[in-house]
Structure 1
Amino acid sequence: MRANQRTLGIMTRCQGSHFIDKGYYKKLTLFGRKQGIRVFVFSPRQVNFSSRTVAGFEYRNGAWQSDTFPLPAFVYDRCFVGPAYRNYKPFVEKLQNDRNITFLGHGLSGKWQVHQMLIHSKQLSPLLPPTELFTHSALQETLDKYNAAILKPMAGTHGIGVVRVKRRKGDFEVSGRSKDNQPFRRILQGEAGLKRFVSTFTNGRKFLVQPYLELHTPDGSPFDVRVLVQKNGEGEWETTGRAVRIGDKRSITSNLHGGGKAVPLAPFLSRHYKPALQTRIMQTIDQVAVELPRFLEQSHGRLVELGIDVGIDTAGNVWIIEVNSRPGRTVFTMINDPAAQFHSITQPVRYAHYLMKERVGGY
Structure 2
Amino acid sequence: MKSKITKPKEWYNLGIIAYCNGPTFTEKDYYRNLTLVGRKVGIRVFVFSPRQVDFDSRTTIGYEFKNGVWQTHTFPLPPLIYDRCFMGPAYRNYKPFIEKLQNDPKIMFMGRGLSGKWEVYKMLECLPEITKWLPDTKPLAISEMMERLKSNETVVIKPMSGTHGYGVVRFAKGGNGYEATGRARRTNVPFRRSFKSLAQVRQFVTSFTAGLNFIIQPYLSLSTRNGVPFDVRVLVQKNGSGEWQTTGKAVRLGNKESITSNLHGGGHAAPLSSFLAANFSSSQTAMIETEINALVSVLPPALEKHHGSLFELGIDIGVDQQGRVWLIEVNSRPGRAVFRMIDDSTARLRAVTQPISYANYLMKERVGGY
Q: TM-score normalised by the shorter chain: which range applies?
A: over 0.9
Q: Which position in structure 2 is the counterpart of 1:212? A: 219
Unaligned runs of 5+ in 2: 1-6
Q: Which position in structure 2 is the counterpart of 1:254? A: 261
Residue 323 (structure 2) pairs with residue 316 (structure 1):
yes
Letter in 2 for 1:140: M
Report SS of the residue matched to 2:204: helix
Instruction: Kindly provide the CA deviation profile for residues 297-327 of structure 1, in whole angstroms up to 9, marking residues without a partner as x.
Output: 0111000100000000000000000000000
Q: In the alignment, which of 135, 151, 156 is matched to residue 129 of structure 1?
A: 135
Trace 1:187-226 onto structure 2 (pairs within 5 A). 187-226=194-233
Distance in 2, matches of 1:310 and 1:162, equals: 16
Letter in 2 for 1:79: C
Query: Shift of the alpha carbon at 1:140?
Result: 2.7
Alpha-carbon contact 2:237-2:313 (below 8 Å) kept: yes
Q: Which position in structure 2 is the counterpart of 1:355? A: 362
Instruction: Kindly provide the CA deviation profile for residues 264-306 of structure 1, in whole angstroms up to 9, marking residues without a partner as x.
Output: 0000000111111111100111111111111110111000100
Q: In the alignment, which of 224, 231, 243 is matched to residue 238 of structure 2?
A: 231
Change (3 A) 1:36 1:360: closer
Letter in 2 for 1:92: I
Q: In the alignment, which of 48, 53, 67 is matched to residue 47 of structure 1?
A: 53
Report SS of the residue matched to 1:203: coil
Unaligned runs of 5+ in 1: none
Q: In the alignment, which of 72, 80, 84 is matched to residue 78 of structure 1?
A: 84
Distance in 1, matches of 2:161 and 2:367, equals: 30
Distance in 2, matches of 1:265 and 1:143, equals: 34
Instruction: Kindly provide the CA deviation profile for residues 71-107 of structure 1, in whole angstroms up to 9, marking residues without a partner as x.
Output: 0110000000101111000000000000000000010
Residue 125 (structure 2) pairs with residue 119 (structure 1):
yes
Change (3 A) 1:2 1:138: farther
Instruction: Kindly provide the CA deviation profile for residues 146-182 of structure 1, in whole angstroms up to 9, marking residues without a partner as x.
Output: 6210000000111011000002365210010002111
Letter in 1 for 2:276: L
Residue 8 (structure 2) pairs with residue 24 (structure 1):
no
Q: In the alignment, which of 115, 120, 124 is matched to residue 109 of structure 1?
A: 115
Query: Shift of the alpha carbon at 1:142?
Result: 3.7
Alpha-carbon contact 1:262-1:334 (below 8 Å) kept: yes
Residue 282 (structure 2) pairs with residue 275 (structure 1):
yes
Query: Shift of the alpha carbon at 1:190?
Result: 1.1
Aligned residues: 361
Distance in 2, matches of 1:353 and 1:346, equals: 11
Change (3 A) 1:271 1:330: same
Report SS of the residue matched to 2:90: helix
Distance in 1, matches of 2:20 and 2:145, equals: 38
Distance in 2, matches of 1:81 and 1:256, equals: 17
Moved >4 Å (runs of 4+):
none
Distance in 2, matches of 1:281 and 1:338, equals: 24
CA RMSD of aligned residues (A): 1.3
Change (3 A) 1:146 1:132: farther
Q: Which position in structure 2 is the counterpart of 1:92? A: 98
Alpha-carbon contact 1:142-1:211 (below 8 Å) kept: no
TM-score in terms of structure 1 length: 0.97
Trace 1:48-67 onto structure 2 (pairs within 5 A). 48-67=54-73
Alpha-carbon contact 2:146-2:202 (below 8 Å) kept: no
Q: Which position in structure 2 is the counterpart of 1:333? A: 340
Letter in 2 for 1:21: E
